[in-house]
Amino acid sequence: MPRFLFCMRPATAPPTMARSQGVNMSAFKTTVSELAVRFGLAFHGDGNRLIDGVGTLAGAGPSQLSFLSNSKYASLLAGTRAGVVVMREENVADSPVPALVARDPYVAYAKIAALFERLPHAPQGIHPSAVVAPGAKIAPTASIGPGCVIDAGAVVEDGAILGPHCIIGTDCTVGAQSRLVARVTLVIRVTLGKRVLVHPGAVLGSDGFGLAFDRDHWIKLPQLGGVRIGDDCEIGANTTIDRGALDDTVLEEDVRLDNQIQIAHNVHIGAHTALAGCAAVAGSAKIGRYCMIGGNAGVLGHLEVADRVTITAKSLVTHSIREPGEYSSGVPLQENRQWRRNAARFKHLDEYARRLSALEKDSNNE
């Protein structure tokens, strides 16, 4: 994972974290050997150890599972009280507790931890306080929470869950098994695929920022397109995705957006791409597949970014990127006095370049 890019892979808690911290939200229990079989992992140690939750290396108790994915935290392994730790083969010899062996412990942990997550129950049907317009189509297995508003022409498919105070506008579709956590707004012409997760406060299908300047005032351009979200996407809290001016704004399958991200009108984001918090993509930009865009990074409008490109945090993409790789921009943090000296010199870079070119030319003529 590139430096300074995402905060997506916590490596375990620091040594100062208190003991017996972890997650045990349900009565679900399993054994180490059952986990090994279920997820295709080798195990060492007591396979009959009962596991009923997850925790950090420093805080997990004897009935909880933890993981070690970053060698920086290998020193915590010797003192762990976890019931089992997911780790690489190279760390097994140092483990005082049972071990599950994985090529990528963090991925294995993510899959296992999902067994212990218990979301609040969402009963099928429409809450009495919800307002559903005539002509809206709600699947019998969908769950419509308190205070929701569903306009005419909207569709909510099988198993979809709308948390409190969601608004589903005209010609919007919430795909099967999708979940809108709370206060999510689909404005108009928004289509969500299957198993889409949208966090609180997100707004999809709002007006794109389309304006034409007519001598002394702005004229608003109508935004006639929509938004199409592919299967298995995730949209973070308070993120906004504008509908297209003519064509649709598109997120292909398995795109992951963090909180407070701005996706402008007619942007196209390829499958399996992830954007970290506060990133912004301007209108009509096209982002490829398997890209990673760091926090607070920006992509200017009408640019293209190739597949498998990484943009590090706070970078600004000002030209199209045609080749895979890792790209950065901006000035690294410096002591203020040094930064001020360097900033004063920035204004003279062109002058310095011309002088150097002239010196090189004179040297070649001698």
Beta-carbon count within 10 A of 158 CB? 12
Which residue of the set 265, 302, 319, 348 is catalytic?
Answer: 265
**What backbone torsions phi and psi does residue 33 show, to the nearest 5 degrees?**
-65, -35
**∠158-123-239 over CA atoms, to 5°?**
70
The residue behind tokens 């070119």 is 357
Distances (CA, A) of 259 to 254, 255, 282: 16, 13, 17
Beta-carbon count within 10 A of 45 CB? 18
Give the list of residues 6+ apart from residue 273 with CB closer than 8 angstroms, or none.
252, 255, 256, 287, 288, 289, 290, 291, 292, 293
Sign of the alpha-carbon dihedral angle for 336, 337, 338, 342: positive
44 noted as active-site residue: no
Identify any residues that bridge with 207 across adjacent strands, giving them in sequence order.
none
Distances (CA, A) of 205 to 79, 187, 237: 51, 5, 15
Which residues are designated catalytic?
A: 265
